[in-house]
Structure 1
Amino acid sequence: MRTRTTTAAATALTAAVALLLTGCGGSDSSDTKDSDKIAGAESGSGSSKPSASAPGDDIERPEIKLPSDVENVFEGGTTGDPTKDAVLADNERMINSIDEAITVDADKHPALKFYSKDDALLAAATYVKSFYDSGKTWTGVTRYYDREVTLDGKTSATVTYCGDETKSYSKDRETKQVKKAPGEADDYVSYTARMEKNAKGVWQALKVTSQRGAEQCQR
């Protein structure tokens, strides 16, 4: 398990915001499953979906690439409603942008700010910084499922979804050592994300809350 506390908190510091605008210099504060993650995950391409212009839009998007040992699996990305599908696609990119910032050592991570703002951006910055501060990253596979979108007008939406971290592990950046542990209830997380469509047509996360050990996600 890797700690993925994305709830916006008062402890989101200015330093965390600066992290988004420059390079990452933080670390993973929680050990979660005490597994080593990627230490030098600057290279490699994981299973993040293409972040260039999506089919049907002409938005110039920052590219997102995850390391080869990091994979996010998203279930149910098509609803039949173009607006809901667009919300789900950008929610997916938002998740990948956070994991790219955690696992890829780079001077800047433009996708982080591209897909998150306000409380969600502060929370993401704090979360990413915590990994660097503790000398951790993560490796493995995280599954996202039961993804549902509720539209509130033309530019607001709420996305609820579950995360399964039973096959994702924290990894030491220096030793690259991974300590795997059996899955447990806290590896199942319930998320609620408030999304808003900006002037460019991008659905950005405004606030993301999470609950670990959520019974409805334990399957």
Structure 2
Amino acid sequence: MNRPARLVPAALTASAALLSTACGSGGGDGASSDRIAGADTAETPSASPSGSATADGIDRPEIKLPSDMKLVFEGRRTGDAAKDAILADNEQTVSTVWQAMAHGDVKRSGMAFYYTDDALAGVYQYAKGAIAKRTSWAGTLRYYDRQVTVFDKKSAALTYCVDESGADLKDRETNKLQGTKTTSDSYVHYNLGLKKNADGVWQTWDLTEDRGSQKCQP
């Protein structure tokens, strides 16, 4: 089975800082948990144009991924309204990074709507690098073992695993797949810091990843 070389998400998930080796974003080495590269930069994108208002009344950016880029999110319903809202926002969060890569457009990706602070700076620099190298991916990413901890009405944490074994790097212009083997590094554990903004959106402000984590191995 092929997989993207060192897909990180994100977001991360997230998945979040993604395809780190191919795009030079400097993710973890599989043995330790590292903050996403570029998190200390002051350059960040502006929020993307809004889409239509959703059921919660929030005017969110429109997200459209290509047909060969599929995301599978497990455990969408916990029975707790606050946790379910966090999980739903996280699905949109990681999708914005993939949208930037798929379409080669950072400014209209929606990342600035769902990421903030260091996490936004990191995914922005990652996406710019991927776009410059014409790098995207095709296949399926599976997000599983998603665990939410709510601290109060405006702060929370989220951990989850990503299975990258069903996806592969792709040249965005030629659509040619790279083809890489599945290893223990195909499974990544993420730890996110979240805060709820004035609009009611759960934004990711901090993000670490542990590639090859024993917590996520099949």
TM-score for both structures, normalised by structure 2: 0.79
Letter in 2 for 1:207: D
Taking the aligned partners of 1:181 and 1:150, their CA distance within structure 2 comes to 35
The structure whose residues are more often strand, as a share, is: 2
Question: What SS does the corresponding residue of 1:21 show, helix, strand or coil?
Answer: coil
Aligned position for 1:166: 165
Aligned position for 1:108: 107
1:21 to 29, 41, 46: 46
Letter in 1 for 2:46: L
Aligned position for 1:205: 204
Q: Indicate conservation of the 8 Å contact 1:12/1:126, yes or no.
A: no
2:7 to 4, 13, 38: 4
Aligned position for 1:150: 149
Question: What SS does the corresponding residue of 2:152 show, helix, strand or coil?
Answer: coil
Taking the aligned partners of 2:36 and 2:105, their CA distance within structure 1 comes to 24
Taking the aligned partners of 1:119 and 1:189, their CA distance within structure 2 comes to 20
Aligned position for 2:25: none
Letter in 2 for 1:203: W
| Structure 1 residue 206 displacement after superposition | 0.5
Taking the aligned partners of 2:123 and 2:175, their CA distance within structure 1 comes to 24
- Structure 2 unaligned segments of length 5 or more: list them: 9-16, 18-34
**What number of residue pairs does the alignment pair up?**
188
Aligned position for 1:184: 183
| Structure 1 residue 71 displacement after superposition | 0.6
> Structure 1's 116 and 22: CA in aligned 2 closer, same or farther, altered over 3 A?
closer
Letter in 1 for 2:104: D
Taking the aligned partners of 2:127 and 2:140, their CA distance within structure 1 comes to 18
Taking the aligned partners of 2:103 and 2:109, their CA distance within structure 1 comes to 12
Q: Indicate conservation of the 8 Å contact 1:79/1:85, yes or no.
A: yes
| Structure 1 residue 109 displacement after superposition | 1.9
Aligned position for 1:45: none
Q: Indicate conservation of the 8 Å contact 1:160/1:191, yes or no.
A: yes
| 1:157-196 alpha-carbon deviations (Å, 9 max, x no partner) | 0000000000111111233211223311111000011110
TM-score for both structures, normalised by structure 1: 0.79
Q: Indicate conservation of the 8 Å contact 2:120/2:205, yes or no.
A: yes
> Structure 1's 80 and 145: CA in aligned 2 closer, same or farther, altered over 3 A?
same
Question: Identity over the aligned pairs, expressed in percent?
Answer: 40
Q: Indicate conservation of the 8 Å contact 2:104/2:131, yes or no.
A: no
> Structure 1's 58 and 120: CA in aligned 2 closer, same or farther, altered over 3 A?
same
Aligned position for 2:122: 123
Question: What SS does the corresponding residue of 1:109 show, helix, strand or coil?
Answer: coil
Q: Indicate conservation of the 8 Å contact 2:106/2:124, yes or no.
A: no
Taking the aligned partners of 2:42 and 2:136, their CA distance within structure 1 comes to 22
Taking the aligned partners of 1:194 and 1:130, their CA distance within structure 2 comes to 24
Letter in 2 for 1:21: S
